Structure 1
Amino acid sequence: MLSGAGRWLLAGDASQALRWFMSAALAILAGAVGYLGLHAVLCARKIPLRNQLPGALATGVGWWALQSLGGFYVTRIVTQSSDTYGVFVLVLGLLSWSYLLGTLYLYSVEFAAVLYDKRWPRSLSGRDLTDQDQAAFEALSHREVRVRGTQMNIEVPRNPE
Structure 2
Amino acid sequence: MAPIIKNKKAFSLLELLVVILIIAISITFGLPSLTEMVNNQRLKGTARDIFSIFKKAKQEAIRRNTNVVISITPASYSPDGMKGSYLVFVDDGKGTGTAENSILDGDEEILTNVSMPQKVSLISSTFTGSPKTTAFNSRGLPTKLGDVRLRNSIRWYKISLSIAGNVKMDISKDDSW
TM-score category of the 2 structures, normalised to the smaller one: under 0.3
Q: Look at both structures and tell me which one has the larger radius of gyration over its CA atoms.
A: 2
TM-score, structure 1 normalization = 0.25
Larger helix proportion of the pair: 1
Larger strand proportion of the pair: 2
